Structure 1
Amino acid sequence: MRLDPRTWPIAAKVPLAVAVLMMLVGIVLSERVLARLNETQEMHVRDLAQSYLDILSTGITESVLREDTWEVFDAITRAQDLSKGLRATEAIVTNAKGHVIAASNPRQHPVGSLVEVPNGGSPGMQPFRFEAGADVANATRVLAYPGRVVGVIHAAFDTSHLAVERREVLTALIVTNGILTLILAAAGWLLVTRMMAPIRVLSRHLGAAMEGYATPVPEATIARSGDEFRHLFGSYNALVKSMHEREDLARKLFDEQRLGSLGRLASALAHEINNPLGGLFNAMATLKTHGQYAAVRNNALGLLERGLVGIRDVVRTTLAMHRQETSGRSISAKDIADLRLLIVAEARRKSVTVAIRNSVDQDIPLPSTQIRQALLNLLLNAVAAAPPGSEVKLEAARHGDVLVLVVTDRGDGIPATGIDVLTGEDSSPPLRTGGGLGLWTTRRIVDELHGRIEVSQPSQGGTVIRIAVPIEKPIEELPHVA
């Protein structure tokens, strides 16, 4: 997991946010509980300390005036016996100048030793010092008789049990908050994971759709989801259905384009076949009339053979161009040369010259049918756009592991919409006659072969279309049957 929280999954963000929130709430609540505990403990110790000082001061005032050490010491002892629950650890009684009269521990504070009197022994001054978590609390009582300071009582009390109680409360708060934080974080994770399950399903299907394998969400999954996700899944399935219908329509358009190309060539090919047929009939008539002459017979037979070979080549090339091949036959130099025969009649009708420069001298492991279909579409468009007397060029070459095909014409230039279709900027298939079906079919073929198309328009006019198709791996060649 990366350190940037923005990249974390929501299944991690929500439990973490719950944990942080619980920690903040726990800290605030713990602080308030400890503050209240401290106030309670301080009030309790203060009350007990004041009771102890009241008991002690009541019985020693006159003894302090006389500085009677034994009576004061005896009073300190009795007060400690009466206040055992207070845990008084030390008591010191001094005169107005701070000299010790008596102490609970005479060895530590001998009679006559000096003890600091707080605030200079101001009458009525009764300071009390208590710190949360400390083991000792201190209290001071100033003795006045009447209206003047005659002595001071210093007392210390053991509060270690209160410190232990405070630590126990703090530990209990930490453990309780920690357990609650873990429980709520786990609950948040389970809840978010359950809520995000439909999103993960939709994400997987969308990822598959991006790779070209769009499948609808199963009905069982939709039934288990909530109303919101049920509507979302329904919309997604409708989109998938629309995509499948669009693909079916694209396949139909592709087939129609093949048939359309054949129809455009039919009239021109009829002329290419009718001319040899006329010569064949003349040769047959000559044979019937003058077949007894060897020279005439040989000449007529040669004419018949050349005519039949021409018709055979036209028919063979046309069938190879438009039949569905399942063998995956590799494209060869002859396949590219045959394009001249397919396009020459249309070019002659438009008074356009077709020049083919082919440097491919061996079979290339790429499907011949698709490449010839793409080139035929581009050549037909180039001939249709070229002005009379101009030239349409086709160049084919292999550059390393790439087959490069370039079609050039001298027309008015391909429109911007046609460029978008060829380069993939406009991926929607044409749905109307004359909407660039040939260009769209060409781009679809090149996409299936993982190739790319580049279109340029030279300053001198015309259009140059360059197709680059990667040669990925050899395709097993099967014997080609015409």
Structure 2
Amino acid sequence: MSAPPRLSSSAKTTSGPRSTHPVRERTLKFSIAELPVAIRLPLAAAAMIFLAAVASTQAALFVMTRHSERQTELLGQVYLDGLSAAVLPYARTGDAAAIEDALRRALSFHEGIIERQVGFVDSRETVITLARDETGTPQPLPGAITAQPAGVLRRDDGSVWFWRSLQIGDRSYGKVAAHLDASGFQGDREWLRWLLFFADLVFSGLCAIAGFFMMRRIQQPVTIIAQRLYQAALGTPKPIEAASMPDENSSRMMFHAFNAMVHASRERESMLAHMAEQQRKADLGQLAAVIAHEVRNPLAGMRTAISTLRRFGDQAPTRDETLGFLDRGVDALGQVVDATLASYRPQADWRPLTRRDFDDLRLLVEADSRARKVTLLFDVALPESLPVPALEVRQVLLNLLLNAMRATPQGGRVGLSARIGQASLLLAVSDTGEGIPPSLARVYEQGPDGLEGPGLGIGIVIRLVERLSGRIGIDASPQTGTTVTLTLPLGSEERQS
């Protein structure tokens, strides 16, 4: 028995000299995420359709290939059935010449699959092999035939070795082997595989293109809505024209809902504009009422000064003091207007608080105190000048004193005290009225005529105290009246700028 040949393959490899020069690579940086959603989504759908079609076809090709291989194996086993039937009678008698003659007769008939070589290995491993080649020189049998009782061995050239034992019961008479040429089947199978592969690529590509445009058509309503929403975010939203609406019912409902939202947004903007106009008019009315309320207080003091001047104008000291007060009253009117406007815009002018401001306050409220028969008490223990805004402090104290006058019955007392605390100015306005009820100070919620109103005076007080970073406190009881305390931090004259 000749030794089986060793199958070997060689490949000629050529390699050129490795270049040592640097190679400049130009890379095109592109990200799918940079594409708009209207393109990305159809592309994703087209890619999924293409991959699904290719994958399903390749799976079918894989199953078909495996089935074809099993059919080839089954055909080989059928061939071995006929070869075994021809050789077995001579193998049982050990007639080697008859076995060789039976193998030769098997080679003389072929239809479909062509056998390249047949062989027989007896129990003593004596090999009888014949080839179809014209030279009649058979190749050595593969070593797997002697090592294994049965099997299949495929070669790279498309041929297949089949072998199995000739066994009756427990006795084996040898092995029959056949080298069949299945390259024709394999070539047809490969041709069919490539044909199906390219046909699948074309069909999958067409399906992907159709899916892309189908998704674009389905996504078109959403794209239009997205564009209109983006335009609405940059400006005034506009409704979608009827000509741009699709025929599909659910999409038309979405477009109608968007148009309803646009109309509601326009109505809301119109309402907000109307409310803003109403609020502007209300603010102007409030500003006018504040100015009227605050201006008439110094006017009352100036009226008192004019009455004093008429009665005691022949006395030089009284005349000079009254004329000076009138001059300061005129200045106070302008300051009142500036202070009122300061509630709506930053205050530009600034001057320190002086003792003269408290004298002016006394003169401003004396006429009201005499008319109401209320005793006015001032207790001011301050230096000549303090680093706090004079105009704001005058306005706060004037409002508090006048409101205290209105809250105090005849024969009562209204007092003002001023002291220096720890880096702060301590002010207190007290009265002997009925006190503030639990529903908050009605006195401070009264309008300029003493009737229930919008509380313009207390609004100015609160805003001015907040601007001065101060604190306000109220102590009230029906027995002792009301005391309003103010704590204002002392600043520096740098605030004049």
Instruction: Give the TM-score band, short-chain normalised.
Output: 0.5 to 0.7
> Are the aligned partners of 1:279 and 1:307 in contact in 2 as well (CA < 8 Å)?
no
Pick from 171, 177, 200: which aligns with 1:153?
177
Pair 1:115 & 2:135 matched:
no
State the match for 1:398 in structure 2.
Answer: none
State the match for 2:287 in structure 1.
Answer: 258
Distance 1:187 1:116 in 2: 63
1:272-291 aligned within 5 A: 272-282=301-311, 286=314
The 1:253/1:114 distance shift into structure 2, 3 A limit, reads closer
> Are the aligned partners of 1:352 and 1:389 in contact in 2 as well (CA < 8 Å)?
yes
Pair 1:102 & 2:137 matched:
no
Give 1:261's aligned amino acid: V
Q: Deviations over 1:332-391 (max 9, x none)?
A: 215999999998857997979899954689xxxxxxxxxx99996999589969996466
State the match for 2:348 in structure 1.
Answer: 331
State the match for 1:427 in structure 2.
Answer: none
Pick from 332, 351, 355: which aligns with 1:314?
332
Q: Deviations over 1:27-55 (max 9, x none)?
A: 76346423442354235434644564466
Distance 2:360 2:242 in 1: 54
Greater Cα radius of gyration, structure 1 or 2: 2
State the match for 2:101 in structure 1.
Answer: 71
State the match for 2:258 in structure 1.
Answer: 229
Pairwise CA RMSD: 6.6
State the match for 2:225 in structure 1.
Answer: 198
Distance 2:458 2:335 in 1: 20
State the match for 2:252 in structure 1.
Answer: none
Give 1:71's aligned amino acid: D
Distance 1:463 1:329 in 2: 22
SS for the counterpart of 1:101 is: strand
Q: Deviations over 1:422-479 (max 9, x none)?
A: xxxxxxxxxx964999869998x9xxxxx9998978899968799xxxxxxx9xxxxx
Distance 1:184 1:46 in 2: 42
The 1:438/1:258 distance shift into structure 2, 3 A limit, reads farther
Pick from 223, 238, 255: which aligns with 1:218?
238
Q: Could you tell which deviates more after superposition, 240-249 or 185-194?
A: 185-194
Distance 1:407 1:203 in 2: 58
Q: Note the C-alpha offset of 1:252.
A: 2.6
> Are the aligned partners of 1:382 and 1:409 in contact in 2 as well (CA < 8 Å)?
no
Q: Could you tell which deviates more after superposition, 240-249 or 433-442?
A: 433-442
Distance 2:117 2:426 in 1: 111
SS for the counterpart of 1:333 is: coil
Give 1:278's aligned amino acid: S
Pair 1:245 & 2:263 matched:
no
Distance 2:295 2:224 in 1: 58
The 1:384/1:174 distance shift into structure 2, 3 A limit, reads farther
Q: Note the C-alpha offset of 1:318.
A: 3.9
Q: Note the C-alpha offset of 1:94.
A: 3.4
Q: Note the C-alpha offset of 1:258.
A: 1.0
Pair 1:42 & 2:69 matched:
yes
Give 2:290's aligned amino acid: S
Distance 1:435 1:224 in 2: 57
Distance 2:36 2:439 in 1: 43
Distance 2:352 2:228 in 1: 48
> Are the aligned partners of 1:346 and 1:383 in contact in 2 as well (CA < 8 Å)?
yes
The 1:459/1:339 distance shift into structure 2, 3 A limit, reads closer
> Are the aligned partners of 2:417 and 2:429 in contact in 1 as well (CA < 8 Å)?
yes
Distance 1:59 1:36 in 2: 35
State the match for 1:366 in structure 2.
Answer: none
Distance 2:178 2:461 in 1: 105
Q: Could you tell which deviates more after superposition, 101-110 or 170-179?
A: 170-179
Distance 1:264 1:55 in 2: 128
Distance 1:129 1:179 in 2: 42
Distance 2:82 2:291 in 1: 124
Q: Note the C-alpha offset of 1:313.
A: 1.4
The 1:249/1:266 distance shift into structure 2, 3 A limit, reads same
Q: Note the C-alpha offset of 1:195.
A: 0.8
Give 2:276's aligned amino acid: E
The sequence identity of aligned pairs, in percent, is 12
Q: Note the C-alpha offset of 1:331.
A: 0.6
Q: Deviations over 1:179-213 (max 9, x none)?
A: 7567746765775575154345446645x6xxxxx
Q: What TM-score do the two structures reach when normalised by structure 1?
A: 0.54
Give 1:78's aligned amino acid: S
Distance 2:78 2:130 in 1: 19
Give 1:333's aligned amino acid: W
> Are the aligned partners of 1:11 and 1:189 in contact in 2 as well (CA < 8 Å)?
yes
SS for the counterpart of 2:146 is: coil
Distance 1:232 1:256 in 2: 36
Q: Note the C-alpha offset of 1:242.
A: 3.3
> Are the aligned partners of 1:100 and 1:109 in contact in 2 as well (CA < 8 Å)?
no
Distance 1:300 1:192 in 2: 92
Distance 1:160 1:358 in 2: 108
Give 2:266's aligned amino acid: N
The 1:454/1:323 distance shift into structure 2, 3 A limit, reads closer
Distance 1:13 1:378 in 2: 71
Distance 1:72 1:141 in 2: 17
Distance 1:381 1:228 in 2: 57
> Are the aligned partners of 2:417 and 2:428 in contact in 1 as well (CA < 8 Å)?
yes
Q: Deviations over 1:133-165 (max 9, x none)?
A: 996655445556899754423445336433564
> Are the aligned partners of 1:94 and 1:101 in contact in 2 as well (CA < 8 Å)?
yes
